[in-house]
Structure formats: structure tokens, C-alpha cells
Amino acid sequence: MEQTVAPVEMKKRKDIAFYNYEYTTLDQVKISPLDRGYYFGDGVYEVTKVHNGKCFALSYHLDRLYRSLRLMKIPATIAPDELTELHDVLVEESGVQNGSVYLQITRGTAPRVHDFPEGITPNILMYVNEDNPHKAELAKNGAHVITIDDIRWQHCDVKSLNLIPNVLGAEKARQKKCAEAFQFRGDELMEGTSSNVFMVRDGILWTRPADDLILKGITRQLIITKVAPSCGITVIERKIDREYLAKAEEVFYTSTTAGIIPVLKIDKETVGDGTIGPVTKALQERYAGLMAEGLP
């Protein structure tokens, strides 16, 4: 690692950004039209929660980032400890208390050919977002969702910039005044457009196994390994079909920026008794506790 991180010489600014080893502001970042992220979506990204001015579960996000880079055959030109420091500096300098850090790495800048151009360097972009209050409302009051066909590729485990099917699905949900769209391959529930899905039946938590057809969400992982066990709730990773989902007592979806969002209606059908259930509430409370404790 020959490059070093430039010192920060800026006052606290929410719009602070880091691009290719320079700190600047978002509106000053200059990205070439020949960035492969721009014309091919040839890159990967991560979004890490900022809670009370600190990154939450950053090491989990960085593990997933390096896996995404490996699967996309993008060279890792920056070390995890450097990225950790950059996250901390950006959060501190932005003054943002509750939000998220967006990190994007594209393969690099070169004239447009499909195969990998030789000798290009990945472009690294980072900035901080504040929480969207709408998500806190959804977590408190519950959400309605629709179901759609999953038309994505076979490597949804990679957090790639190619998100067109997710974008189209999210827009379809918005047009139906719903908060999320659950994607199905045939009869099988996969995940939301930007979230993983859980259901409760007989007091047990069910979620689809994380293979290469869904993103292994960090929130999902934390619920399975930490939150549910500490609530005494059993989790089973198993494929879920439409019939099984229709019998759910409770359903919720999870993501870094939204946390745990209770689902009250799926395609206008009421889930359970139409209220936020006790398992979802217990998990929300414990997850909030875990965030307050902090996690590296």
C-alpha cells in the first residue's frame, strides 16, 4: 500500500466525500465518463450504518466488500485497516450522528471495451448519508409490500452496482404505495429489492438460506447469530414458498439502513392478525440494544 490517506483540512461538513485518496465535498467529486462503473455498472459497494456517531458492524461490511471484489475480479488496492480509518474520519468530519457511509469501488477508468483493460486502477468513492426518517416510521408502524418476479442474474450474493431489476422493483412498489417488493423465483421467496425477508411461524423464525441467489445481509446475519439467540428464538434457514409465506404469523424485512421493518400486508393480504407481532417487537428491541452496545 504505497498511497497514503490525505489529511483532512475541512470543517465539519455533512457533504464531505473521499475520492481516490482526496477529501473533498460531494459536489466537487469529478468522475470520468470513462469510469467503468458509469457505463457498465462494473463495480461493488457497501453501506454501513452510523449509530450515535460510530460505524456499526463495519468489519462485517468490509468482509463482504472484499468477497464482492474477489468475485468480480477487481483487485483490492486498499487495505481493510485503511478503509476502517477512512470510515471513522468521514463520520467524524461529517458530524453525522445517525446515518450511513456509502462506499463504492469501480474497476477503473478506461475507453469502453468489455474485457478488463490492462493497468487500470480501481476508483474509490465514499460519503456519508443521514438517516431517512421515513424508515424509522416504517419500523414503528409497519409496511405494506408487493411481490414481483426475480429477474436478476445468478450472483445476487455479490453487492454489485448493477441494480436495475432492484430499481424497477422498488419503483413498482412505490407506484402501488408500498415500501418494498419481495422477489420470487417461480414459487420461491428470495429477498426484497434492498432487504432480506424473515417470517415467523409457530414462534420460530424462518429465512431463506444465503446462497448465491440472495445477498447475505449483515442485518440478517446479526439476527441469526446474535439477536434471535439472545431472545431465545429459534431460527431455521429454509426455502420459503408462497403457500408457506401465506401462513406466516409475522413477516419482516431487514437492511442496514432500515433495521427491522414489520410487514402488515403482502399484495393487499393481511399478515397474521395485521398488527406488529411479539417476535418482531422483541427482535427490534434487542437489535436496538446491540446497536447501542456497538459492534466493530
Strand partners, 260: 254
How far is C-alpha 187 from the chain's CA centre?
24
* 58 lies in the binding site for ligand PMP (CB under 6 A): no
49, 135, 159, 247: the catalytic one is: 159
Q: Which of 34, 83, 27 is nearest to 55 (CA)?
A: 83
The CA distance from 229 to 82, in Å, is 33
Q: Is 113 left (phi over 0), alpha (psi -120 to 50) or beta?
A: beta
Amino acid letter for position 133: P
Neighbouring C-beta atoms of residue 121, cutoff 10 Å:
13
Nearer to ligand PMP, 120 or 295 (CB): 295
Q: Which stretch binds ligand PMP (CB under 6 A): 79-87, 101-109, 113-121, 217-225?
A: 217-225
The CA distance from 277 to 269, in Å, is 16
Say how many residues touch ligand PMP, by CB under 6 A: 14
Q: Which stretch binds ligand PMP (CB under 6 A): 11-19, 119-127, 211-219, 276-284?
A: 211-219
Q: Which stretch binds ligand PMP (CB under 6 A): 198-206, 252-260, 269-277, 279-287?
A: 252-260
Tell which one of 196, 207, 280, 284 touches ligand PMP (CB under 6 A).
196
Least Å distance, CB 222 to ligand PMP, is 8
* 261 lies in the binding site for ligand PMP (CB under 6 A): no
Q: Is residue 159 annotated as a catalytic residue, yes or no?
A: yes
Q: Which residue blocks in 133-258 are alpha helix, DSSP H? A: 133-141, 164-175, 218-222, 228-231, 242-246
Nearer to ligand PMP, 142 or 192 (CB): 192
Tell which one of 170, 191, 198, 213 touches ligand PMP (CB under 6 A).
191
Least Å distance, CB 215 to ligand PMP, is 4
Tell which one of 217, 259, 262, 272 touches ligand PMP (CB under 6 A).
217
* 150 lies in the binding site for ligand PMP (CB under 6 A): no
* 256 lies in the binding site for ligand PMP (CB under 6 A): yes
- Report the relative pairing of strands 22-25 and 16-19 from DSSP bridges: antiparallel
Contacting ligand PMP within 219-248 (CB under 6 A): 219-220
Nearer to ligand PMP, 219 or 284 (CB): 219
The CA distance from 104 to 159, in Å, is 10
Residue 212, all three cell numbers? 448465491
Residue 163, all three cell numbers? 441494480
Task: Write the CB contacts of 166 (distance below 8 Å, at least 6 apart in sequence).
Answer: 152, 193, 194
Helix (H) / strand (E) containing 105: strand 99-106
**Where are the extended beta strands (E) located within 177-271?**
180-185, 188-191, 196-201, 204-207, 235-237, 250-255, 259-266, 269-270
Contacting ligand PMP within 62-121 (CB under 6 A): none
Least Å distance, CB 67 to ligand PMP, is 12
Least Å distance, CB 47 to ligand PMP, is 6
Contacting ligand PMP within 33-52 (CB under 6 A): 47
Catalytic positions: 159
Interface ranges with ligand PMP (CB under 6 A): 47, 166, 191, 194-196, 215, 217-220, 254-256
